Chain A
Amino acid sequence: MDTVFAGLSQGFAVALNPINFFYVIIGCFSGTLIGALPGIGPINGVAILLPIAYSAGLPPESALILLAGIYYGAEYGGRVSSILLNVPGDAGAVFTTLDGNPMAKKGEAGRALSLSAVASFIGGTISVILMTLFGPLLASVAIHFNPSDYVALMVFAFTCLASLVGKNPIKTLLAAVMGLMIASIGIDANTGVARFTFGIPDILAGIDFLVIVIGLFGMGELITLVEHQVTGKLAVLPVGKSFVSWKDLMVTKWVILRCSLLGFFIGVLPGTGASVASAVAYGTEKRIAGKSGESFGTGDIRGLAAPEAANNGSAGGAMVPMLTLGIPGSGTTAILLGALLLFNVTPGPLMFVQRPEIAWGLIASMYIGNIALLIINLPLVGFFARLLTIPQKYLTPLIAVLAFIGVYSVVSNPFDLYMIIGLGVFGWLLRKLGFSLAPVILGVVLGNLFEDNLRRALSISGGDWMILIESGRSIAIYVLTALILFVPPLVSSLRRRAATNAATSEA
């Protein structure tokens, strides 16, 4: 407990430093803005702005504070376009449209926006508190992990991805393997052998992480935007004067609490972020509500509060494994992890000890950021609503310009400009075919860590593969992996059987 308080006080010293405080506010503000723009979510926002933060020469803790602010700010802002436009800002906000938009149609947009802001705030704050408590704890356990435990963790991470993210587990797995394959391009660090470079000097050092991220998420998004461009104006529903009442909060308080916790724990699972969290939260609350849950989908405030609390809870949860294990908890944290590596900071159990200003500075900044977001979001919601009307015809070219600036200012190699265009087309195709892109980026980020640990483990054992299942810790992780793999299908088949039984007994 002492370490937590000492760490927090150090963290607040970093986060309250005027410059960093400024970055928290800027990050939260631009995050909300990015989240509010229809189509652009946290992952695209962070991807596009990361290289600019990098080449602007910020110190690592400031850059991370800024980028994290954009991340959870965008989780906050995603609700605005969901509620007012019925167009989710990103995958995590899909479930917000279900009850948020009907409320806005009833003329209760103000109430929906303010209630979801409060739910987001509570979800975010609960997850930061849990992060403060569990982060150092997990780090102190993880410090004893050996290479074979890390291999087990990686297997766990990819299993979580495959079984929880996306509709088709095999496609998700293939996407992750593609990421791992991309990561294997370049010179092998252990032996100096070039792999898959085909003699092209530009990729000897591997394909730059920034290039992959900007290509897949920046350019891919741009092509998707052009594809879906709607001719004519989207109708933005008026915000109106209605506001959240004390009674609303009382009705939803348990929903918000439950979903915040749920969101946090789903966020902690490697690879599963806001979209899974909000989907599970919505489904669970609907089931808990029972008979009265029939109003879900028609403007029920519980159905609005649940996904919002969960997706903001997951943002904090996803940071925990990223900071303590170096394994990102979601697609966006995979990019943040890549950002840390760019700054020569290795996330992992030692970070709390070696670079406390970064780990604790980030945590402290999230307390401040959440409060700032609530303050920004309640009165300024009308302003963000007006931004929704920024025409796509201007927004789309600007995304490309930002991506070009980002890539060029970091690597200054025109070859990479062609590379992002190619990757953008590839990313668009993958999405078209029902693949999700987050596993790809997770594969890219984890590729070297996975391979290095595997090789190190086998070096320790002298080539004996049994070392992978020798320690109690790795066996425990494999058991968890099996649970993740087999429990969800089992539960759903049991439920189906129960449902058919009930149906036959009623008949």
Chain B
Amino acid sequence: MADRIFGSIALVISLIYGFIAFTIIKAPFQYDPLGPEAWPRILSVVAALCCLYIIARPDGQKFKVLGHTLTRIALVVFFLSAYAVLFERLGFIVSTALFCGVLSRMLGATAKQSVLFGIASGILGYGLCAGLLDLNLPTGAIFKNLKLL
């Protein structure tokens, strides 16, 4: 069943992809026999055929995720998104400390462990990557005004 659902969604996507390739993409002028639309057209046909096969003969594989696990995964995705939102705003150190602290707490660390781990990974990560390896990491919009870092 899961295969069929996925196959149908993928089929819809490849049909949309194919529709765009067959109708919209066009070069204003070209010298080559194959324009920018030819390759996507081929791909869309192959993809659609694969999807049809999967819908017709699914593996019968069950998509088993316990409700409890699904909640955890949703939470992780939420934390990751929050991390992404805060990454530039709060800067690497603070956002990383928050993210590591919260996620490790969720994964079973005690309150004290997660606070220590969060702070350590924020500061050590910044020191190692921005200081030692000279990578480009955000200091954080709120610190720029304070000129703390």
Assess whether B140 is interfacial by the CB under 8 Å rule: no
Contact, CB under 8 Å: A458 / B3: no
Q: How far, in angstroms, from A223 to B63 measured CA to CA in the complex?
A: 16
Contact, CB under 8 Å: A227 / B43: no
CB distance from A90 to the nearest CB of B (A): 21
Contact, CB under 8 Å: A459 / B47: no
Contact, CB under 8 Å: B136 / A52: no
Q: Which of A100-108, A188-196, A242-250, A371-379 contacts B (4 or more CB under 8 A)?
A: A188-196
Assess whether A476 is interfacial by the CB under 8 Å rule: no
Q: How far, in angstroms, from A36 to B76 measured CA to CA in the complex?
A: 24
Contacting residue for A392 out of B59, B96, B107, B138, CB 8 A = B107
Instruction: With A174-B47, A180-B43, A462-B33 as known contacts, state yes or no: A432 contacts B65, CB within 8 Å.
Output: yes
Contacting residue for A396 out of B39, B43, B103, CB 8 A = B103
Assess whether A454 is interfacial by the CB under 8 Å rule: yes
Contacting residue for A408 out of B73, B76, B136, CB 8 A = B136
| Residues of B contacting A199 in the complex (Cβ-Cβ under 8 angstroms) | none
| Residues of A contacting B146 in the complex (Cβ-Cβ under 8 angstroms) | none
Assess whether A398 is interfacial by the CB under 8 Å rule: yes
Contact, CB under 8 Å: B47 / A178: yes
- Chain A: interface residue total (CB-CB under 8 A): 63
Contact, CB under 8 Å: A226 / B40: no
Contact, CB under 8 Å: A52 / B51: no
Q: Which of B31, B36, B117 has the most CB of A within 10 A?
A: B36
| Residues of A contacting B39 in the complex (Cβ-Cβ under 8 angstroms) | 184, 450-451, 454-455
CB distance from B104 to the nearest CB of A (A): 5
| Residues of A contacting B104 in the complex (Cβ-Cβ under 8 angstroms) | 393-394, 396-397
Q: How far, in angstroms, from A349 to B69 measured CA to CA in the complex?
A: 48
CB distance from A409 to the nearest CB of B (A): 4
Q: Which of A23-31, A356-364, A411-419 contacts B (4 or more CB under 8 A)?
A: A411-419
CB distance from A407 to the nearest CB of B (A): 10
Contacting residue for A417 out of B14, B87, B125, CB 8 A = B87
Q: How far, in angstroms, from A190 to B25 measured CA to CA in the complex?
A: 13
| Residues of B contacting A425 in the complex (Cβ-Cβ under 8 angstroms) | 77
- Chain B: interface residue total (CB-CB under 8 A): 63
| Residues of B contacting A52 in the complex (Cβ-Cβ under 8 angstroms) | 129, 133, 135
Complex: chain B residue closest to A415, CB-CB: B84
Instruction: With A397-B100, A405-B137 as known contacts, state yes or no: A458 contacts B34, CB within 8 Å.
Output: yes
| Residues of B contacting A234 in the complex (Cβ-Cβ under 8 angstroms) | none
Q: Which of A165-173, A293-301, A340-348 contacts B (4 or more CB under 8 A)?
A: A165-173
Instruction: With A170-B53, A174-B54, A393-B107 as known contacts, state yes or no: A414 contacts B88, CB within 8 Å.
Output: yes
Q: How far, in angstroms, from A405 to B95 measured CA to CA in the complex?
A: 12
Contact, CB under 8 Å: B138 / A177: no
Assess whether A381 is interfacial by the CB under 8 Å rule: no
Assess whether A240 is interfacial by the CB under 8 Å rule: no
Assess whether A219 is interfacial by the CB under 8 Å rule: yes
Contacting residue for B73 out of A227, A391, A414, CB 8 A = A227
| Residues of B contacting A190 in the complex (Cβ-Cβ under 8 angstroms) | 30, 32, 36
Assess whether A492 is interfacial by the CB under 8 Å rule: no
Additional A-B contact list (18), CB under 8 Å, known A405-B129, A458-B32, A459-B32: A55-B135, A57-B134, A181-B17, A188-B27, A193-B36, A195-B25, A195-B36, A195-B40, A196-B20, A222-B76, A227-B73, A391-B109, A394-B104, A401-B96, A404-B83, A408-B137, A417-B84, A455-B34
- Cβ contacts A to B, 25 pairs, < 8 Å: A55-B135, A171-B50, A174-B51, A177-B47, A190-B36, A191-B35, A196-B20, A226-B72, A226-B73, A396-B107, A397-B103, A400-B99, A400-B103, A401-B121, A404-B96, A405-B135, A408-B137, A409-B137, A412-B136, A417-B87, A421-B81, A432-B2, A454-B34, A455-B34, A463-B34
